[in-house]
Amino acid sequence: DAGITQSPRYKITETGRQVTLMCHQTWSHSYMFWYRQDLGHGLRLIYYSAAADITDKGEVPDGYVVSRSKTENFPLTLESATRSQTSVYFCASSEGGEADTQYFGPGTRLTVL
């Protein structure tokens, strides 16, 4: 049972470059989420998706783009990376419902130079 995976696990890029972080889940969960985690801020929701082709902004969506053409994949793209986007990015999924458990992937550590 692979669960939820993220790739790459580590990424170093330069300011201005486009970067795509991948997230894949094998549970057929309806909901998927992208968070970033920074010291002093905790996890902050970037975007989430209730189903294929349905996405919504979270708390900090600026500078990010998402898509969800298939239920199992939820890629996050930084169209023009900035140093302030250096962070740990976590993808999560849940079956649905507001009281439902979210299961997190192992995270991607992104450094923007």
Partner 1 sequence: RKEVEQDPGPFNVPEGATVAFNCTYSNSASQSFFWYRQDCRKEPKLLMSVYSSGNEDGRFTAQLNRASQYISLLIRDSKLSDSATYLCVVNRGGNDMRFGAGTRLTVKP
Residues in contact with partner 1 by CB under 8 A are: 31, 33, 35, 40-45, 48, 50, 56, 58-59, 90, 94, 98-99, 101-102, 104-107
Only one residue has tokens 């998927």, namely: 32
Nearer to partner 1 among residue 2 and residue 99 (C-beta): 99
* In the complex, least distance from residue 107 CB atom to partner 1, rounded to whole angstroms: 6
**Number of Cα atoms under 13 Å in the Cβ half of residue 105:** 32
CB of 18 to partner 1, least distance (A): 25
Greatest Cα-to-Cα distance within the chain, rounded to the nearest angstrom: 39
Closest CA relative to residue 34, chosen from 10, 43, 97: 43
14/100 with CB nearer partner 1: 100
List the structure tokens of 78. Answer: 């930084």
Nearer to partner 1, 16 or 50 (CB): 50
